[in-house]
């Protein structure tokens, strides 16, 4: 539902305080005034958009994106020691905010502190590697995960130029950065601007559908996907988005038809994407063939190993040991391989699932390992996945299909 007018007023007031605080930072260092004036004009637009997504507890305080910009302003002005301190502050307050770690590393490099810089780069690289990429059967924008703060700032700067304002592409690229960073409302605004300039860009209409779905506006999302597919009936990725919406609206047969259509359009060499579609359908027999191809291309990918075990287990076939020997309870998703190997309890698996997506993965796998001897208990696990997990997860769709099967 759209926020109330009162809520919007409160947010606007808080955002103005945030912008004023940024101005105070600049006024305390007169040498930065010229640089800050330019960056401040850029940031006013960015913070007006990004800021509405800070939680109420952060109102009146600088969020990590604003603190990151403050440090960048110092670095651009050549005040490297001040920038180093401020990047360190952001990294301390938001240790998983990778742009700050990378910015800190760059400044440390310029200060000649290569060892500390390398440590920051390594931390950022490790954090990025731990973020599960979007499933390969989803649209290209959602296969990447943010934050893309630097990109958003750059695109906002471009949109201040007269020519860029008349080009749909700049709005699309910033909208994509917003969508991949988890800001669907902002993406929706930019896609709307782009479509005013180029109403024939039906792939952008499909992206509007993805943003609407992310906001829970499923009827609007369905209309957008219908329009996009009427113009682009051979676009496999649009069927994926519409299938998710059909599923959430309780139309599992319509969702299955869209996934089957997507599967027919995906080329044979996209085995990982084809495997994901089949896993959503809980079609484990067909998924095994595609997972073999995915593992040939990415033999070390633990998710392909896990989904192969999932398929073998549900088909009642012997499970070999590859992937078990180096499965540790400390790494995700290798903890779930340890669960399959009997080296991790259900309670410990759930304890290690430290975010919404991982908890859904753990609950789904608990259903898999339980199903053979206690289907009722497995269904309880799968019901939790359906009730609590994001509908875009493979496990959500697979759990719905498992629950739809007759209980023997």
Residue 107 belongs to domain with CATH number: 1.25.40.10
pLDDT of residue 156: 79
**Structurally, how many domains does the chain consist of?**
2
Query: Which of 130, 146, 174 represents a domain boundary (last residue)?
Result: 130
pLDDT of residue 23: 43
Domain-embedded: residue 359: yes
Domain-embedded: residue 227: no
pLDDT of residue 192: 94
- The set of residues, in sequence order, having a beta carbon less than 8 Å from that of 18 and lying 6+ positions away, is 47, 51, 59, 60, 61, 62, 63, 66
pLDDT of residue 34: 46
Confirm if 146 and 135 have CB atoms less than 8 A apart: no
Cα separations (Å) of 407 from 147, 268, 379? 43, 34, 9
Distance CA 172, CA 132 (A): 24
pLDDT of residue 3: 36
pLDDT at 116 over 80: yes
Tokens for 201, please give them: 């860009």
Domain-embedded: residue 113: yes
Distance of CA 200 to the CA centre of its chain: 27
Domain-embedded: residue 376: yes
Domain-embedded: residue 47: yes
Domain-embedded: residue 286: no
pLDDT at 2 over 50: no
Beta-carbon count within 10 A of 24 CB: 9
Handedness of CA 370, 372, 374, 377 (dihedral sign): positive
Residue-wise pLDDT for 31-86, tens only, equals 444 444 455 445 445 544 443 333 333 323 456 777 887 888 788 788 999 999 99
Confirm if 291 and 322 have CB atoms less than 8 A apart: no
More confident: 133 or 312: 312
More confident: 342 or 273: 273
Query: Which of 130, 148, 180 represents a domain boundary (last residue)?
Result: 130
pLDDT of residue 85: 92
Query: Which of 68, 95, 130 represents a domain boundary (last residue)?
Result: 130
Q: Is the peptide bond before 369 cis (omega within 30 degrees of 0)?
A: no
Distance CA 373, CA 379 (A): 12
Domain-embedded: residue 210: no
Structural domain for 346, as ranges: 299-408
* pLDDT-based confidence at residue 330 (cuts at 50, 70, 90): low
Tokens for 398, please give them: 């697979």
Q: What are phi and psi of 357, to 5 degrees?
A: -65, -45
- Residues 180-188 have a mean pLDDT of 89
The DSSP secondary-structure symbol of 298 reads -
Place of tokens 């990590």: 64
Domain-embedded: residue 180: no
Confirm if 103 and 84 have CB atoms less than 8 A apart: no
Distance CA 239, CA 67 (A): 40
pLDDT at 11 over 70: no
Instruction: Note the pTM of the prediction, 2 decimals.
Output: 0.75
């Amino acid at each position: 539902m759209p926020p109330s007018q009162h809520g919007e007023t409160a947010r606007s007031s808080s955002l103005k305080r945030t912008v004023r605080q940024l101005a105070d930072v600049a006024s305390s260092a007169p040498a930065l005034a010229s640089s800050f004036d330019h960056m401040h004009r850029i940031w006013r637009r960015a913070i007006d958009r990004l800021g509405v997504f800070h939680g109420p507890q952060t109102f009146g305080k600088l969020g990590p994106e604003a603190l990151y910009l403050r440090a960048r302003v110092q670095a651009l002005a050549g005040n490297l020691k001040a920038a180093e301190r401020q990047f360190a502050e952001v990294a301390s307050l938001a240790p998983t905010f990778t742009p700050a770690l990378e910015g800190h590393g760059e400044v440390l490099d310029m200060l000649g502190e290569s060892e500390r810089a390398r440590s920051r780069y390594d931390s950022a690289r490790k954090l990025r590697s731990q973020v599960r990429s979007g499933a390969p059967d989803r649209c290209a924008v959602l296969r990447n995960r943010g934050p893309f703060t630097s990109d958003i700032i750059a695109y906002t700067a471009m949109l201040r130029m007269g020519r860029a304002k008349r080009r749909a592409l700049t709005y699309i690229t910033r909208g994509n950065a917003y969508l991949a960073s988890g800001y669907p409302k902002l993406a929706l605004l930019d896609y709307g601007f782009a479509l005013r300039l180029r109403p024939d860009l039906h792939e952008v209409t499909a992206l509007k559908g993805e943003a609407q779905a992310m906001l829970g506006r499923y009827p609007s999302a369905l209309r957008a996907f219908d329009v996009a597919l009427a113009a682009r009936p051979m676009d496999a990725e649009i069927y994926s988005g519409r299938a998710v919406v059909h599923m959430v609206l309780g139309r599992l047969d319509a969702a299955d038809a869209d996934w089957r259509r997507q599967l027919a359009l995906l080329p044979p060499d996209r085995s990982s994407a084809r495997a994901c579609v089949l896993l959503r359908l809980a079609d484990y027999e067909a998924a095994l063939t595609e997972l073999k191809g995915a593992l040939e291309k990415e033999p070390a990918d633990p998710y392909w190993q896990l989904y192969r075990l999932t398929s073998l287990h549900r088909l009642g076939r012997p499970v070999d040991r590859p992937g078990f020997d180096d499965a540790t309870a400390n790494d995700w998703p290798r903890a779930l391989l340890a669960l399959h190997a009997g080296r991790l309890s259900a309670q410990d698996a759930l304890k290690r699932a430290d975010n919404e997506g991982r908890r859904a993965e753990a609950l789904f796998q608990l259903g898999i390992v339980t199903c053979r001897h206690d289907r009722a208990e497995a269904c309880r696990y799968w019901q939790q996945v359906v009730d609590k997990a994001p509908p875009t997860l493979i496990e959500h769709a697979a759990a719905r299909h498992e629950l739809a099967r007759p209980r023997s």
